[in-house]
């Protein structure tokens, strides 16, 4: 890490509730524990996305770690971010590969070829931004637009924990116990425990779940047999890409959604840290693009800057990029551990769901915070209508089809917000 060093802050910063900036770090023991929390925050979604597409979750975890380190190097260690599996690929990958699930995707190669094509488009957009600056993106996406897009990324995901992660009434109650556990940790604890609110809430809720199910027989018991039987160390199942024009044309346009996510992410981190990261946008896009190309080459999912980790940074006020180097390195090690994959699979679905509710909510509020911090005036009809329409497009999963290519949810909301602003934003209020 000769190219980059952090200013060390004392561990007392944790207890005083102080902020740790991107170019600062806590002592390594605390930094390592915070890295574990970021690993867990990205984990649910980074493992869920490959499972939904029939990819190998251990490869996805490994590639998310490698991608995060690529991103760190390409942004010069200036942009705190974790790169995890992007959900924007799920629909187009299923369409391109004809995957009917469950189990491995027999046609994974053509999907990987498309993911690589998307990464190349994304990298070129980054190079353009790097060459001519972000002024054009700024004009396209003022704070009312970026705030709306960030909020939508959280709201669009809201149905996942509520509809898919609580199959029974017991599970729904258990999700409630989980998010209340996280809230109690967040408000009534101090120091390190408070900063680890997501992880602590998850542990507390898992223990309660085990008592209620394994102990009192109330729901589906926690099954730990998979952990015992899994090997400590093993190679993930790598896959090779196949380049097929149709699949590439179907998957490549996802690059635009990734640009919007990454832009929203950097806006959110800028708002939270008070440090303007706009000048790193081109490098951030290129880092994410290259990471997606590398992931697609080995059988991983396309990656994006992770909103879950923005949620954790918002809650902890620790923006040190050192944490993400630790998290990335750990993800690489864990990619080679089937036992770790089994451990994560043992976390009850309802507990993961309860944690997801908190994290997705934190993202939605991060969008609103962009409005507040930039003093967006909602008595101005331009702002009012751009935000109002965008939020419902994204939350309601408004979808438009262009032949085979479908743009839904986050995509229509992003383009809708940009398009509406271009149409009505020029007019003086």
- What secondary structure does DSSP assign to 194-258, as a single string? HHTHHHHHHHHHHHHHHIIIIIT--SSPP--HHHHHS-SS-----------HHHHHHHTTHHHHH
- At a CB cut-off of 8 Å and minimum separation 6, what does 12 contact? none
Q: Which domain holds residue 325?
A: 22-224+241-424
Look at residue 147 in the predicted model and tell me its pLDDT: 85
> Could you report how far apart the first and last alpha carbons of the chain are, in Å?
51
Look at residue 290 in the predicted model and tell me its pLDDT: 96
Contact between 401 and 411 (Cβ < 8 Å): no
Instruction: Tokens for 96, please give them.
Output: 């391109």
Single out the residue of 268, 51, 35, 53 nearest to residue 154, CA to CA: 268
Count of domains in the chain?
Answer: 1
Look at residue 283 in the predicted model and tell me its pLDDT: 92
User: Taking the chain (429 residues) in consecutive chunks of 10 residues, what is each chunk's mean pLDDT?
Assistant: 67 70 79 83 76 82 93 88 82 72 74 92 92 78 83 79 80 89 85 71 87 81 77 82 78 77 81 80 92 91 82 80 89 85 76 81 82 88 92 87 72 85 77
Is position 7 within any domain? no
C-alpha span between 48 and 306 (Å, rounded): 14
**Where do we find the tokens 């609110």?**
197
Give the H or E element holding residue 88. Answer: none
Alpha carbon 320 to its chain's center: 17
C-alpha span between 212 and 196 (Å, rounded): 24
Is position 2 within any domain? no
Is position 128 within any domain? yes
Residue 305, beta-bridge partner list: 83
Contact between 322 and 6 (Cβ < 8 Å): yes
Is position 282 within any domain? yes
Single out the residue of 420, 422, 421, 417 nearest to residue 149, CA to CA: 417
Q: For the chain, give the secondary structure using H, E and C.
A: CCCCCCEECCCHHHHCCCCECCCEECCHHHHHHHHHHHHHHHHHHHHHHHHHHCCCHHHHHHHHHHHHHHHHHHCCCCCCCCEEECHHHHHHHHHHHCCCCCCCCCCHHHHHHHHHHHHHHHHHHHHHHHHHCCHHHHHHCCHHHHHHHHHHHHHHCCHHHHHHCCCCHHHHHHHHHHHHHHHHHHHHCCHHHHHCHHHHHHHHHHHHHHHHHHHCCCCCCCCCHHHHHCCCCCCCCCCCCCCCHHHHHHHCCHHHHHHHHHHHHHHHHHHHHCCCCHHHHHHHHHHHHHHHHHHHHHCCCCEEECHHHHHHHHHHCECCCHHHHHHHHHHHHHHCCHHHHHHHHHCCHHHHHHHHHHHHHHHHHHHHHHHHHCCCCCCCHHHHHHHHHHHHHHHCCCEEEECCEEEECHHHHHHHHHHHHHHHCCCCC
């Amino acid at each position: 890490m000769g190219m980059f060093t952090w200013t060390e802050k004392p561990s007392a910063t944790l207890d005083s509730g102080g902020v740790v900036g991107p170019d600062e770090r806590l002592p390594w023991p605390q930094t390592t524990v915070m890295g574990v929390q970021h690993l867990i925050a990205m984990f649910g979604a980074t493992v869920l996305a490959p499972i939904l597409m029939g990819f190998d979750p251990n490869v996805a975890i490994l590639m998310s770690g490698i991608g995060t380190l690529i991103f760190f190097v390409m942004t010069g260690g200036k942009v705190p971010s974790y790169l995890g599996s992007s959900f924007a690929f799920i629909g187009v990958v299923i369409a391109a590969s004809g995957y009917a699930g469950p189990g491995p995707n027999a046609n994974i190669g053509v999907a990987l070829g498309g993911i690589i094509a998307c990464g190349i488009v994304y990298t070129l957009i980054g190079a353009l931004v790097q060459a001519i600056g972000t002024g054009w993106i700024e004009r396209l996406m003022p704070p009312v637009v970026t705030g709306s897009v960030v909020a939508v990324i959280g709201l669009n995901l809201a149905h996942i924990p509520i509809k898919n992660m609580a199959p029974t009434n017991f599970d729904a109650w258990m999700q409630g116990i989980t998010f209340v556990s996280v809230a109690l940790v967040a408000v009534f604890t101090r120091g390190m425990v408070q900063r680890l609110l997501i992880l602590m809430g998850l542990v507390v809720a898992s223990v309660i779940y085990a008592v209620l199910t394994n102990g009192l027989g109330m729901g589906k018991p926690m099954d730990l047999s998979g952990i015992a039987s899994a090997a400590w160390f093993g190679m993930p199942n790598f896959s090779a890409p196949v380049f097929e024009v149709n699949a590439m044309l179907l998957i490549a346009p996802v690059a635009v959604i990734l640009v919007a996510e990454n832009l929203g992410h950097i806006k959110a981190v800028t708002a939270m840290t008070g440090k303007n990261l706009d000048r790193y946008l081109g490098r951030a896009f290129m880092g994410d693009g290259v990471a997606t190309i590398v992931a697609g080459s080995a059988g991983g999912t396309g990656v994006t800057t992770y909103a879950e980790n923005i949620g954790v940074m918002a809650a902890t006020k620790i923006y040190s990029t050192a944490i993400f180097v630790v998290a990335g390195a750990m993800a690489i090690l864990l990619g080679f551990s089937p036992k770790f994959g089994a451990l994560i699979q043992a976390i009850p679905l309802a507990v993961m769901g309860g944690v997801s509710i908190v994290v997705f909510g934190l993202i939605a509020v991060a969008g609103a915070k962009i409005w507040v911090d930039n003093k967006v005036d909602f008595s101005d009809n331009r702002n009012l209508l751009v935000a109002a329409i965008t939020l419902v497009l994204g939350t309601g999963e408004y979808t438009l089809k262009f032949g085979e290519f479908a743009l839904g949810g986050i995509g229509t909301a992003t383009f809708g917000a940009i398009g509406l602003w271009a149409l009505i934003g020029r007019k003086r209020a």
